Structures are given as C-alpha cells and as structure tokens.
Amino acid sequence: MTWPLVATIVGATIAADVLQSVEMKRHGEIRDFRPGTLGRAVVALARRWPLILAVFFMAVSFFAFMTLLSVADLTFAVPATAATYVFETILARCYLKERVTWKRWAGAALVAGGVAMLAL
C-alpha cells in the first residue's frame, strides 16, 4: 500500500503546484503583507476555480500523506514523494514556458539524485 500512496501524493502534488503557479502569476506579485490586504487577496483568490482545484489536489495529497505517515518513517515519506521535482521542472519548461537554465536543470538533477539516495 506504500507505493500507491506515494503515487497518489506525487500526482496530486504536481497538479496542485502547476495550477497554483499559473494562478498566482496571473494574480501578480503579493507586495503588501498587512493582514487586511492579505485577507482581501485570499478572498479574491478563493473565487478562482483553478485555485480551488489546486487546493482540492493539495487536500488529496495531504490525506494520502497522513495515511503514509501512519505506516512509514518521516525520513522515507518525505523524500519518496520528491519524484515531483523531475516532472514539475519539465512542466515548468514545456507548459509554464519558464526559462529553465542549465543551472536549474543541473540543480534539479542533483536534488532528484539526492532525494533518490535518501529513499534508499
């Protein structure tokens, strides 16, 4: 049951992160961190359906993570779900059209390699 839970977490996290990145960029940079302004920003963001969908996927990921933590070590559960790095960097390049420089590719590859070693 461990690996299906990991796959659920990875799939849901990828969907949530890509949706969040698109919608937060569309909203624009948050510059004012006063509680009132932040509250208004949250209310405005809560009306965007892709962001609602992102929160839904985050919830799926969270409950699967809770279940995983009840049967596996923290030092296994967290690194094992980092397969998201590779997929999300590819999506950032192909779907979000971010300029992924060689340093970012190399950095993502090192992180993915390191995460794989943590999971051993």
Nearer to another protein, 11 or 93 (CB): 93
Binding residues for another protein (CB under 8 A): 1, 5, 17-18, 20-21, 24-30, 33, 42, 45, 58, 62-63, 65-67, 69-71, 73-75, 77-79, 82, 84-85, 88-89, 91-93, 96-101, 103-104, 106-120
Phi-psi region of 32 (alpha: psi -120 to 50; beta: other; left: phi over 0): beta
Nearer to another protein, 10 or 88 (CB): 88
Sign (positive or negative) of CA dihedral 43, 46, 48, 50: positive
Closest distance between another protein and the C-beta of residue 115, in Å?
6
| Type and span of the H or E element at 41 | helix 35-45
